[in-house]
Amino acid sequence: MSITEHLKSLATGDLFKDAVAEDAFVGRPFYFDFSRMKLLSNDHWKEKVGGIAAGTFLVAVYDNAGDNPEIVLLRVLGPTMLPSDSDVVASMVEHYKENAGADTAADKLDSYTRFEFQFSGLECRVLGSFYKDLSGKTCFGADVDNFYGPNNYSVYRPTGPVLEYIVNFRDGEAIPGGKGDQRIGAVRYASSRRHAGAAEVPVYVNAFDYLGKRTALFGMTRTGKSNTVKMVIKATAELAPSGAQLDGKPVKPIGQIIFDVNGEYANDNQQDEGTAIYQLHSADVTRYSILDKPGFKVMKLNFFEDVVAGFEMLRSSLQDDKAIYTQAFMNVDWEPADPMDKSASTRFDRRKSCYQAILTAAGFARPQNFKIKFTGAKEINGPTGIDPKLGVTPEQAITWFTWVWNNYDSDPFFSNYKQKRGREWADEDLKSLMRFLTRKAKPGGQATEAGFRKLIPMRDHHTATLQQSYEEEVVDLLRAGKIVIIDLSQGDPGLQRTYSDRLCIAIFRDGMKRFIGNQESNFIQMYFEEAHNLFPKKSDSDLTVIYNRIAKEGAKLNLGLIYATQEVSSISANVLKNTQNWFVSHLNNNDELREVAKYYDFEDFVESLRRTTDKGFIRMKTYSNAFIVPVQIERFSAVQS
């Protein structure tokens, strides 16, 4: 049976009848309000249903419902006090004392006492209620609109098809079994599987839940975040070909871009056993990398043309270099000058020209017929024989700036200039650049510093060609519904950030342009691993940061965001608040758990999240599901083979 047929057959069952099963009975409530129910259970009933773990779903069925049935959905939180508890404890202790030393076996209890001892109280959270609307359709409301005396309810533990119906129940119009459903895993309550014997209860997620939405994956390392991401990518890739419809129109092919910091989606790896994403969807996948590699396109930048971005990359590659002159070089300001301010523009052009001279000195291949143009000064142009106003080669620019630095302290032009104008001819930034170019700490001194040679390793990231930039190419692929994997595994975090910032900005701009132009856009899903390295910090509510903008405005542009990290607390509240899908696995400390506990009813899972470290054991809240379902996620490689 296909997933669709299976789910459809499930949907035809009658929850209100099927939930009431003699052998699934676990107890009777003695307290009930809008958010909590407490019930009396006993060892016999618990045993019969295979035990009750924390987090187990229970249903409380209203006994006298008639035509208007109601089922309250509950989640077990833990034990609760019974009024008789203190008496029971007292007599239990008494019993132990009496038997201490004596040879009587501990089970020699009179039957009345034994009966008393086996009762216990359970506290449950009320998750909502199932009811029938006027047309007889089963609906779920995330609350209860009324409560009768607790004695009117009987509580059962749903299993099998009934539980499957409950955990896969979809809000609103979407019927389970629609196109795009993926079996993502099976219900799992506890790390211990002692009682798990019975058949697995599958959990499905519809790929529409991810489109244009924000999806978070939180958990410590090696707990199955990437595995889950792969399941999401697969479901998304299969959605459009399935012929699924949105608002009555077929879904356009969905673009997916994966920022692969560890190279695990783009390359073969042991853990996926030959099922890395690029292999499965090879026809639709284009891989990009930072450095040349067979099978990959390379993302390169024209450093001569793209001054700001190129400089940003140099800056991130030099960030650990503490030499003072290097720091000064890295702090050169590229804020464009006010075009009305002539002197500022002239100075900006000189800085830029000197920078291009440095690139040439460091062996960055220049674009064809490349000329540098800026306003010189006749006192310099004369001795050098070079007038840069007319456009000069980079080598001539090197000569020109080198002459300036060599003579900066000795030529009267510079001292006269200072005297007359009250400021130096070269600003601090230009001086830093000339020092970097000539490798001379002092004007006219010896070339003793490394200077421009520090940039040589970055030549690999440069291209002299003026073809379509990689950003435009990537945007085109995504618009055509392809999968793009950006292999960032060869870059340091600074470089990774530069590349992902640039791509995200390009994608966001394209989306904005289409939105304003009232053009239809397909969905683009963006995947980020180790998101704490890229995303703005918690304190950072700066909306100019591209990830904040995508989180806040992405929905209207049809941009979806899927991010994985172990540091929940480092993600800005702006992003978290706008996150609809949550996959949370083991977290080992209170700071992170506190953050998660703020959202939905994750506070119910704090204990179990801290304790259980199982791979792929995830508490999942999706957009179309009203409550969290604890799931064991399928292993991606197993689904494939």
Ligand X SMILES: Nc1ncnc2c1ncn2[C@@H]1O[C@H](COP(=O)(O)OP(=O)(O)OP(=O)(O)O)[C@@H](O)[C@H]1O
* Positions that interact with ligand X (CB under 6 A): 219, 221-227, 271, 615-616, 633, 635
How many Å apart are CA 20 and CA 40, to the nearest integer?
A: 18
Residues found in the chain: 641
Choose from Mg ion, ligand X, none: what does 541 bind? Cβ within 5-8 Å by kind.
none
Report the residue number, 403 or 617, with the smaller CB distance to ligand X.
617
Which residues are within 8 A (CB) of 236 and not within 5 positions of it... i.e. 6 or more apart? 207, 210, 211, 254, 256, 525
Choose from Mg ion, ligand X, none: what does 633 bind? Cβ within 5-8 Å by kind.
ligand X
Choose from ligand X, Mg ion, none: what does 69 bind? Cβ within 5-8 Å by kind.
none
Report the residue number, 223 or 407, with the smaller CB distance to ligand X.
223
Least gap, CB of 391 to ligand X (angstroms) = 52
CA distances, 169 to each of 6, 76, 137, 211, 549 (Å): 14, 19, 12, 19, 32
Choose from Mg ion, ligand X, none: what does 635 bind? Cβ within 5-8 Å by kind.
ligand X
Choose from ligand X, Mg ion, none: what does 227 bind? Cβ within 5-8 Å by kind.
ligand X
Report the residue number, 73 or 216, with the smaller CB distance to ligand X.
216
Q: How far apart are the first and last CA of the chain?
A: 19
Report the residue number, 45 or 605, with the smaller CB distance to ligand X.
605
Least gap, CB of 285 to Mg ion (angstroms) = 19
Which residues are within 8 A (CB) of 123 and not within 5 positions of it... i.e. 6 or more apart? 36, 37, 38, 76, 77, 78, 79, 80
Q: For tokens 């004369």, name the residue.
A: 382
Least gap, CB of 258 to ligand X (angstroms) = 13
Give the count of beta carbons closer than 10 Å to the beta carbon of residue 412: 10
User: In angstroms, what is the C-alpha Rg of the chain?
Assistant: 33
User: Binding pattern to Mg ion, positions 181-220, x when CB under 5 A?
Assistant: ----------------------------------------
Least gap, CB of 528 to Mg ion (angstroms) = 11
How many Å apart are CA 407 and CA 231, to the nearest integer?
A: 65
Report the residue number, 401 or 636, with the smaller CB distance to Mg ion.
636
Choose from ligand X, Mg ion, none: what does 315 bind? Cβ within 5-8 Å by kind.
none
Report the residue number, 32 or 528, with the smaller CB distance to ligand X.
528
Q: Which of residues 219-238 bind Mg ion (CB under 5 A)?
A: 225-226
Least gap, CB of 585 to ligand X (angstroms) = 7
Contact between residue 354 and residue 334 where contact means Cβ atoms under 8 Å apart: no
Least gap, CB of 107 to Mg ion (angstroms) = 51
Report the residue number, 514 or 615, with the smaller CB distance to ligand X.
615
Kind of pairing, strands 285-289 and 214-218? unpaired
Least gap, CB of 276 to ligand X (angstroms) = 12
Here the tokens at position 331 are: 């702090």
CB burial readout 539-563, b (16+ within 10 A) else e = eeeeeebbbbbbbebbbebbbbbbb
Give the count of beta carbons closer than 10 Å to the beta carbon of residue 343: 10
Binding residues for Mg ion, per CB under 5 A?
225-226
